[in-house]
Amino acid sequence: MADISQFINFKDRRQLATDVLFWLISALLVIILVKVMSLSTFSFKVYFPDTIIVALYFLVIIYIFVLLKDFREWVIIFCNRDKTFSFRIGDWPGLWIFNGGCEFGPEKLVINSSRSGCLLENYYWKDFTMSFDVKFEENDIQKQKLFGIIFRAKDFDNYFMLEIGIRPEKYSDSNGNESVIEGIKPHLRYKGGWEELAIKKIDKFDFGKNKSFQRIKLRVIGNRVDLFYQGGNVFSWRLPTHVDVNHFESGVIEGRTNGLDLLASQCVSSYGLVGFRSHWNHAPAIIKNLIIKPMKSF
């Protein structure tokens, strides 16, 4: 269901126009319903105070409004779901929404200083494969070789993500020796906040020494996510059903509550957008040969 706290979005004029139209349609449907009932040959006598009748009409209007917004979202997803996508120069920036310094070059994307992310707009997948080649741009300022793969995103504030590369923090081995490691850290972004899971070291990763493009493939089926590196399966993740809103590592969440929140906005069985992310202190990630296919095509 649509978020009941956002009946009318005054911050987005286009969305505001849509919301007002839905309100008018909802009210019109209620008026038509009352008119039909008044002309009906079937009559019954039930008396309610006028205030209760007004409240009931208003609740019906709200319910119809929410259904209309959900229906509009369903139509958009239904018309744009499960398509095969292959990146081309002409797709940028028209098919993408992003923040930060994302750029494009000859047949490639450069994900740079994009704190919220870069999403492929109006393409929705649930079960899919996503393959691409990636390498990090060398510079003396942004030295952290990390980037994120975003999937099943509702928007910039709600999605799942796998962060891949060389971790900036040091970890101690069994002998007490500290070193940086290459690995994968799953993230949950919920209402603008971040919940991070434990990192998994991937011995096969070679982003530190290898400066050439490296092949990565993401496969998402149901609530299971698998990551393939250079042809081999190196990581699996069972998507969680809840997020702990009281222990976010970073970010700000609206409407904080106690305990656990259901991931309603990016349910593990729902369709969503895909994309990439790179923090401002991460080295720019260069993406090429991006291909996304729905699993039903296999």
Domain-located, residue 3: no
Is residue 280 in some structural domain? Answer: yes
Name the CA radius of gyration of the chain, rounded. 24
| Mean pLDDT along residues 125-152 | 89
What would the pLDDT profile of 104-134 be if each residue is shown by its tens digit? 877 889 999 898 999 999 999 999 999 999 9
Of the residues 25, 53, 79, the one at which a domain ends: 79
161: domain range?
85-297
- CATH number of the domain encompassing residue 276: 2.60.120.560
Q: State the DSSP string of 190-239.
A: ETTEEEE---EE-TT--TTT--S-EEEEEEEETTEEEEEETTEEEEEEE-
Final residue of a domain: which of 79, 108, 131? Answer: 79
Q: What is the pLDDT of residue 96?
A: 93
Q: 20-34, 138-152, 269-283: which range is least confident on average?
A: 20-34
Q: What average pLDDT does the segment 3-23 reach? A: 62
CA distance linking residue 13 with residue 15, whole number of Å: 5
When comparing pLDDT for 131 and 171, which is higher? 131
pLDDT of 298 over the 50 cut: no
Please tell me whether residues 229 and 97 are part of one structural domain.
Answer: yes
In a domain, 7, yes or no: no
What's the pLDDT score for residue 297?
45
For residues 154 and 252, membership in a common domain is answered with yes
Do 48 and 186 sit in the same domain of this protein? no
Nearest to 290 by CA among 70, 88, 13: 88
Answer with the one of 58, 79, 100 that is the final residue of a domain. 79
Verify that 169 and 218 share a domain, yes or no.
yes
61/47 same-domain check: yes
Same domain, yes or no: 73 and 89: no
Average pLDDT of the segment spanning 178-182:
79
The answer to whether position 251 is within a domain reads: yes
Q: At what angle do helices 13-39 and 50-79 cross, to 10 degrees?
A: 130
Rounded Cα distance between 228 and 235, Å, is: 7
pLDDT at 230: 87
pLDDT at 242: 84
- Do 188 and 272 lie in one domain? The reply is yes
Decide if 1 is inside a domain.
Answer: no
Domain match, 57 and 30 both: yes
- Does any domain span residue 6? no
pLDDT, tens digit (0-9, with 9 covering 90-100), for 34-48: 777 776 655 555 555
Higher pLDDT, 177 or 290: 290
Pair 131, 70 in one domain: no
Sign of CA dihedral 269, 252, 123, 77: positive
Q: What is the pLDDT of residue 62?
A: 78
Q: What is the band of 150 on the pLDDT scale with cuts at 50, 70, 90?
A: very high
Q: State yes or no: pLDDT of 78 exceeds 50.
A: yes
Whether 125 and 24 share a structural domain:
no
Domain count for the chain? 2
Looking at the structure, tell me whether residues 147 and 212 fall in a common domain. Answer: yes
